[in-house]
Amino acid sequence: MLVMNKLRILSAALIAVAGSAVVSSCGGDKRSTGMEFARNMYDPIAYNPDQANKNFANGQTAQLPPANTMPVGYDKVDEYPNTPEGYLAASNNLFNPLTRNKQTLTEGHTLYLNMCSHCHGTQGNGDGQIIKLEKFPPPPSYSKGNSSRGGAMKDLTDGKIFHTITYGLNLMGPHRTQLNPTERWKIVMYVRELQKL
Ligand code: HEC
């Protein structure tokens, strides 16, 4: 019994000593980051964007892009904001850059079926599945309906359709993040076919 008690006292003392060693090693200089491991991972060879840099005349690392350059993934539609003026400007200045051939039309058709037909219907008559199932108000037919923004749907230009796919319109959501510009243009090409039906 006595031996057990002595052992207990001894182990408690040992734990106390070890514990204080751990605590005291963390204290001290509060500004110290402690031991550094693999220092070169903190100091990369490349300049950080916010770092001073004597290689440039203005002494900064981050430089403005040269005039007339485009960032990677640039979307021309950014020049045509989601406003009535942007919609009209897109109509006057944005034209389908893709060549109209069997392949682009087929791809446009597939994308249209996947992304638009559940509302607009496979023939663009405004009778997609969701209209029947959810009592969703039908969008106007591409060939026979009228745009809520004025004019006949069959007269909608490349730019207006591209602008609509990008930003959406009222109950139609924007498709900018789901479809890249090339995919949007393929769909525009196919919608222009549906306008003729
Ligand atoms: C959630 C259902 C829905 C989806 C999905 C949808 N639309 Fe629409 N779309 C509508 C509705 C509703 C309108 C009518 C909006 C209004 O005028 O208020 C409309 C309007 C339009 C218009 C007419 C725009 C104008 O200027 O009047 C075009 C063009 C169009 N959609 C194309 C597309 C294309 C292409 C797709 C696929 C990328 C698509 N829509 C996906 C519901 C949808």
**Range from 20-24, 145-149, 193-197 carrying the lowest mean pLDDT:** 20-24
Q: Which two tokens stand for residue 27?
A: 């204290």
- pLDDT at residue 21 is higher than 60: no
Distance 70 CA to ligand 1 centre (A): 30
CB of 162 closer than 8 Å to CB of 188: yes
For the stretch 155-176, pLDDT in tens is 999 999 999 999 999 999 999 9
Closest residue by Cα to atom 24, ligand 1, is 164
Distance 120 CA to ligand 1 centre (A): 7
**Would you state the pLDDT for residue 31?**
84
Q: Which two tokens stand for residue 174?
A: 């924007």
Say how far apart CA 112 and CA 190 lie, in whole Å.
Answer: 7
Confidence of residue 132 (pLDDT cuts 50, 70, 90): confident
Q: Which two tokens stand for residue 15?
A: 């734990």
Nearest to 122 by CA among 192, 196, 194: 194
Distance 168 CA to ligand 1 centre (A): 7
**Would you state the pLDDT for residue 5?**
72
For the stretch 106-131, pLDDT in tens is 999 999 999 999 999 999 999 999 99
Average pLDDT over residues 140-156: 96
Average pLDDT over residues 70-80: 80
Q: Could you tell me the CA-to-CA distances from 89 to 67, 78, 94, 142 in Å, in that order?
A: 23, 12, 8, 21
Closest residue by Cα to atom 2, ligand 1, is 119
Q: What percent of the chain has pLDDT over 70?
A: 88
Confidence of residue 37 (pLDDT cuts 50, 70, 90): confident
**Would you state the pLDDT for residue 96?**
95
Global confidence as pTM: 0.73
Say how far apart CA 128 and CA 118 lie, in whole Å.
Answer: 4
Distance 141 CA to ligand 1 centre (A): 10
CATH of domain 84-194: 1.10.760.10
**Would you state the pLDDT for residue 34?**
79
Distance 155 CA to ligand 1 centre (A): 15
List, chain by chain if needed, residues with CB within 6 Å of any ligand 1 atom. Answer: 115-116, 119-120, 139, 147-149, 156, 160-161, 164-165, 169-172, 175, 187, 191
Q: Give the ligand 1 atom nearest the CA of 170.
A: 18
